A = this chain, B = another copy of it.
Amino acid sequence: AAAVGETTQTVCSVKLFLVDVCACLCVLQIDEEVAKLLQLKAQIGGDDGKHQFVLKTAKGTRDYNPKQMAIRERVFNTIISCFKRHGAETIDTPVFELKETLTGKYGEDSKLIYDLKDQGGELLSLRYDLTVPFARYLAMNKITNIKRYHIAKVYRRDNPAMTRGRYREFYQCDFDIAGQYDGMIPDAECLKIVHEILSELDLGDFRIKVNDRRILDGMFAVCGVPDDKFRSICSTVDKLDKMPWEDVKKEMVNEKGLSEEVADRIGEYVSLQGGMDLAERLLQDHRMSQSKQACAGLSDIKLLFSYLQLFQVTDKVVFDLSLARGLDYYTGIIYEAVLTQAGAVPAPAEAQKGAPAEESVSVGSVAGGGRYDGLVGMFDPKGRKVPCVGVSIGIERIFSIMEHKAEVSAEKVRTTEVQVMVASAQKNLLEEKLRLITELWDAGIKAEVMYKKNPKLLSQLQHCEESGIPLVAILGEQELKDGVVKLRVVATREEVDISRADLIAEIRKRTSEA
């Protein structure tokens, strides 16, 4: 009964508070509504009263046309083959999650989450990445071991830059290993996977930068950054790939309130790049060696590089102390892959401004990831942790590059796999053509026929030229009488009579991929 009384009291004070809030809200709402009405009026336009329908996709999104889909399929096949080669299973999760599932996982970026309208029932949000749904899935199903990939679209209310492959709806291709394992073996496999995929996609030269959150935190500590500023300073360091050190330092001193000396100490460290040797050197560094955390991270970097040597991928991997990555949930190793070859894609104009010369050739990150040992525990009622490490391939930027490549190259991208067109040389042969194409379809041959009763032979042949169909099976009165089909090779214009009984085998032989 006491609890009920308490509730009633709370409700009353909440009511009073809400009345105030609503009064404010109402004024805001009126202004908003007026703005919307004015905009609507502008859209409706002049006096013709006609509703001007806006024929477009939502801001920051795009359709994929058949040619783009063909390229997308090719890229996905390469990536999925690699994931499967490494023994991954796959899962899928819904496009929206309970809003509270996403709450508190993304730090400052939470403002970019798309919410669904409250139409009664649960409060929902579109997924922001595939990692948080994965952690929710593991906790919900009490899974402690899994190696899975997940390829799906995620949603961010970001400023789109579509020519550079930055969208509000975009694909992520994630590979993650969950489970309590011996140090750095799964972590090294993730880097091996990035190396395999970027090599196979043939996007030009690339680098995989590696760092560790514990090294960053340890470095901040020994440089004299107050504990409560670690995450915030981390975000500032993360801007080093887009801003020169001078600007980053200014932000540290002027906005984040570090002293010049502390900033300069950080500056020395974040300019360092190397391999296993650098990790060894830093383990001896008089300042770094004072941080247990940093030492743990540095030892793991050493171990990581020893496995990377066995995997034969050290040629592209750099231990880079300036790599920070924005997301809150990383707890250990972090990495990011960047393409380093100029000209692979139209250079991003903004990123060039003020960037040092050697940075301007970078077209930005195409893969990234790291270890997040605490995320699953955030979903478990008892806080049981499941250590995880994973990588996400930034596929949209890769699509942009591949599309650009396809445009400039002479190679024609086929959007269908049709092997043969069933055509006729004379009129009134539709029925015969449908009979023949039924035989072909039922034998598994990919075949097309024009949806006209009496198409011209020329227009049938033209369709083959345009869509890259290699063969034409031509029916005519004479062929029907003789029980043959005239098989025409589109590329050479060679024609040969084939008996109906041999046709399927002949088409297979002539269009086999081998």
Contacts and interface: CB of A to CB of B under 8 A. Distances in A.
Interface of A: 7, 10-11, 14-15, 18-19, 22-23, 25-26, 29-30, 33-34, 37-38, 41, 52-59, 61-66, 69, 72-73, 84-98, 100, 114-119, 121-122, 124, 126, 136-137, 139-141, 146, 148, 153, 155, 157, 169, 177, 179, 181-182, 185-186, 189, 192, 196, 307, 310-312, 379, 381, 415-418, 430-431, 434-435, 438, 441-442, 444-448, 451-453
Nearest to A379: B55
A122 B55 contact: no
A89 B26 contact: no
Most B CB within 10 A of own CB, among A18, A444, A448: A18
A23 B179 CA distance: 55
B69 A91 contact: yes
B98 A58 contact: yes
Which DSSP category, helix, strand, loop or mixed, fits chain A's interface? mixed
A478 to B, nearest CB: 21
B26 A11 contact: no
A58 B451 contact: no
Contacts of A7: 38, 41
Contacts of A416: 84, 87-89
Contacts of A182: 451-453
Given A30-B18, A66-B148, A434 B93 contact: no
21 contacts: A7-B38, A19-B26, A19-B30, A52-B381, A57-B140, A61-B94, A63-B94, A63-B141, A69-B90, A72-B92, A89-B415, A115-B116, A119-B157, A181-B451, A181-B452, A185-B452, A189-B451, A196-B441, A310-B434, A310-B435, A310-B438
A182 B434 CA distance: 14
A38 B14 CA distance: 11
Identical copies in the complex: 2
B92 A434 contact: no
A86 B26 contact: no
A512 to B, nearest CB: 14
Top 9 nearest A-B pairs (CB, nearest first) are A181-B451, A22-B26, A66-B89, A61-B94, A87-B448, A64-B92, A115-B117, A310-B434, A185-B451
B116 A114 contact: yes
A328 to B, nearest CB: 18
A58 B22 contact: no
A148 B66 CA distance: 8
A289 B41 CA distance: 49
A333 to B, nearest CB: 14
A201 to B, nearest CB: 15
Contact of A93 (B22, B57, B92): B57
A53 B100 contact: yes
A58 B97 contact: yes
B434 A58 contact: no
Contacts of A93: 57, 63-64
Nearest to A454: B182
Nearest to A148: B66
